[in-house]
C-alpha cells in the first residue's frame, strides 16, 4: 500500500458518482416502484433498475463514437428507458410518467459513509464529481445528500463521456491543474485505468454491493495509487 | 416593491460575483501591495486595482466581438495586466511575479454579509455564480470565503462573456431550467438588463462602495423584480 507521499502535489479529487458515491440500484428500484405501482404494475423493481442500467454504456457509446452529438445524460436516460420498457410489458406510459421516471436518477441516495467523508476530504482537497451525469442531475444529488462539491465537472462541461480522455482532461483544465495534480476516485477499475492513462492519480474505493450483495469490485484490477474499503477509509489514508 | 409572489416558480439564483459578492478593489490593492512592495515599488494601490479593472470590459470585448476565441478570465487578466503596468512604470517583472499578480483575483474577500446570506438562500434555491470569472477562480473564491455554491456556472461553461445572452442562457440550460425560473442577482443594472432580456428574473443588491465610498449603484436604473440594500436584505425579501 502506498504511503502518504503518493498524494503529494494532489490538489483536487475527482469522483465517479453512480455506484461509487450513490446507490443507484436500490434507489431506482424504489422510485420506479413508487411511480408505477399506483398505475397497476407489479414488477421485479431491482430487475427494472438493472435493465435500465444495462442500456447505460450502449447509450453513451452513441456519443463517444461520434454517431450522435453530445447529449446530456438526462436525455440518454429517457431514450434508454423507452428502449427497454417494452420488454417488460410497459407500453403506453404517458410523457409525464416517462419524465418522472427519468428524473428518478436525480433522487438517488448516497452510500452512508459518503457525505461525512466528502466533508473531510474537502478540507484538504478541491472536490468535484467527474461523472457522466449532467450538471442538473449532479446538483440535485448533491442537494439531496449534502455532497459539498466545490464545482460540478465531468461529461457535460467536457462535452464527452468517460472513459474518453476528454472527460478527464476537460475536468483538469477547468481547474487549471495538470492531470498529475488530480486524483480520480472510483469503484470501477475501467474508470481508473482510463484516468491513469490521461496522467491522473487514482484511488479505488470498494462498493461490493453495487449490483446486489457482493457483486462489486472488492479491490482494483488495475494498478492504483490508493485502494480503500470505502470513502471514509480513503479519507483516513489521505490524512484528512 | 414587489411582493413574495414575484419569486414564485424561481428555482435558481444566479449571482454576479465581482463587485456584487466580493470586494475586488481593496483586495487587489492589498495583494498587489504585498507582492510589489518587497520589490521596491511604492504605488497608489487602489489606483493599481482601478487601472486593472479598467481593462476588464475591453479585454472581454475581444471575445464577445469574436475577434479572438473564448479565453478564460485568468488569461485575460494576465493580458490586461501586461497592458496597463507600463503606464505605472512597472517593467521587467518576472513571469512568476506576473503570474502571482494574476492569481490575486483568486484571493478576493467577500463583502461581510455574503457567506451567511448565501447559506440562507441555498435552503430554498439552487445557487450558482453566473460570473465572467472562470471555474478555477470561482472555486478558489468560494473556498476562501465559504460560498456554498451548488454548481459553478457562467462564462466558462457557456463559452462567452456577459452581457452576451449565451452566458445567461447557457447557465439556465445547465440546470434544465427555463430562464423564467432563474433569477440573476447583481449590483450592476447593465447585467440585470441583459439577464431580463433573456427572460430571467432579476434582483438588484446595492454595493455602494464598489469603486470607493459611495461610487456604486444605490438602486437599480432598470426595472427589476427585487431591489435590496445587500444580500441579507434580499434573503429577507425572498422569505429565506
Render pLDDT for B11-54 as a digit per residue (tens, 0 to 9).
999 999 999 999 999 999 999 999 999 999 999 999 999 999 99
Domain assignment of residue B71, given as a range: 25-106
Asked whether residue B180 falls in the same domain as residue B70, the answer is no
Cα separation, A131 vs A162, whole angstroms: 8
The nearest CA of chain A is from the CA of B16 a distance in Å of 17
Q: What percent of chain A has pLDDT over 90?
A: 95
CB contact under 8 A, A174 and B142: no
Final residue of a domain: which of B60, B80, B106? B106
Asked whether residue B137 falls in the same domain as residue B216, the answer is yes
Asked whether residue A80 falls in the same domain as residue A159, the answer is no
Q: Phi and psi at residue B126, in whole multiples of 5°?
A: -65, 135
Render pLDDT for B156-193 as a digit per residue (tens, 0 to 9).
999 999 999 999 999 999 999 999 999 999 999 999 99
CATH code of residue A101: 1.10.150.240
The pLDDT profile of chain A, 240 residues, written as one tens digit per residue, is: 444 456 789 999 999 999 999 999 999 999 999 999 999 999 999 999 999 999 999 999 999 999 999 999 999 999 999 999 999 999 999 999 999 999 999 999 999 999 999 999 999 999 999 999 999 999 999 999 999 999 999 999 999 999 999 999 999 999 999 999 999 999 999 999 999 999 999 999 999 999 999 898 999 999 999 999 999 999 999 999
Asked whether residue B117 falls in the same domain as residue B167, the answer is yes
The nearest CA of chain A is from the CA of B214 a distance in Å of 33
Asked whether residue A115 falls in the same domain as residue A45, the answer is no
Asked whether residue B8 falls in the same domain as residue B54, the answer is no
CB contact under 8 A, A174 and B135: yes
Asked whether residue B79 falls in the same domain as residue B142, the answer is no
For residue A8, the model assigns a pLDDT of 82
CATH code of residue A160: 3.40.50.1000
Q: How many domains does chain A have?
A: 2
Asked whether residue B14 falls in the same domain as residue B127, the answer is yes
Burial A97-114 (b: 16+ CB within 10 A, else e): ebebbbbbbbbbebbebb
Q: ipTM of this predicted complex?
A: 0.94
Asked whether residue B51 falls in the same domain as residue B92, the answer is yes
Cα separation, B213 vs B66, whole angstroms: 36
Residues on chain A bordering chain B, Cβ-to-Cβ distance under 8 angstroms: 74, 126, 134-136, 138-139, 142-143, 148-153, 156-157, 174-177
Nearest to A151 among B74, B152, B176 (CB): B152
Q: Read out DSSP for A117-186? A: HHHHHHHHSEEEEEESS-HHHHHHHHHHHT---S--EEHHHHTS-TTSHHHHHHHHHHTT--GGGEEEEE
Contacts of B174 in chain A (CB under 8 A): 134-136, 156
For residue B8, the model assigns a pLDDT of 82
Is 0.90 surpassed by the pTM of this model?
Answer: yes
Q: Phi and psi at residue A23, in whole multiples of 5°?
A: -90, 85
The Cα-based distances of A136 to B17, B30, B175, B186 in angstroms read 21, 37, 4, 23
Residues on chain B bordering chain A, Cβ-to-Cβ distance under 8 angstroms: 74, 126, 134-136, 138-139, 142-143, 148-153, 156-157, 174-177
Asked whether residue A33 falls in the same domain as residue A51, the answer is yes
Asked whether residue A72 falls in the same domain as residue A120, the answer is no
Asked whether residue B132 falls in the same domain as residue B73, the answer is no
The Cα-based distances of A202 to A168, A184, A205 in angstroms read 12, 5, 10
Amino acid at each position: 500500500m502506498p504511503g502518504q507521499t503518493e498524494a503529494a502535489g494532489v490538489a483536487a479529487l475527482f469522483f465517479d458518482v453512480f455506484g461509487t458515491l450513490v446507490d443507484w440500484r436500490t434507489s431506482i428500484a424504489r422510485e420506479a416502484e413508487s411511480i408505477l405501482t399506483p398505475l397497476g404494475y407489479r414488477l421485479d423493481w431491482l430487475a427494472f433498475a438493472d435493465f435500465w442500467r444495462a442500456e447505460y454504456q450502449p447509450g453513451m457509446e452513441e456519443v463517444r463514437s461520434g454517431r450522435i452529438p453530445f447529449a446530456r445524460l438526462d436525455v440518454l436516460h429517457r431514450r434508454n428507458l423507452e428502449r427497454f420498457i417494452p420488454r417488460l410489458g410497459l407500453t403506453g406510459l404517458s410523457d409525464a410518467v416517462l419524465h418522472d421516471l427519468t428524473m428518478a436518477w436525480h433522487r438517488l441516495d448516497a452510500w452512508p459513509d459518503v457525505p461525512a467523508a466528502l466533508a473531510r476530504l474537502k478540507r484538504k482537497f478541491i472536490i468535484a464529481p467527474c461523472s457522466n451525469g449532467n450538471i442538473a442531475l449532479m446538483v440535485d444529488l448533491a442537494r439531496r445528500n449534502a455532497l459539498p462539491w466545490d464545482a460540478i465537472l465531468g461529461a457535460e462541461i467536457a462535452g464527452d463521456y468517460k472513459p474518453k480522455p476528454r472527460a478527464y482532461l476537460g475536468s483538469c483544465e477547468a481547474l487549471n491543474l495538470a492531470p498529475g495534480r488530480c486524483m480520480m476516485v472510483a469503484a470501477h477499475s475501467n474508470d481508473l485505468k482510463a484516468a491513469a492513462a490521461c496522467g491522473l492519480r487514482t484511488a479505488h474505493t470498494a462498493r461490493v454491493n453495487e449490483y446486489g450483495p457482493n457483486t462489486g469490485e472488492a479491490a482494483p484490477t488495475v494498478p492504483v495509487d490508493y485502494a480503500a474499503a470505502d470513502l471514509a477509509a480513503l479519507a483516513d489514508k489521505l490524512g484528512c
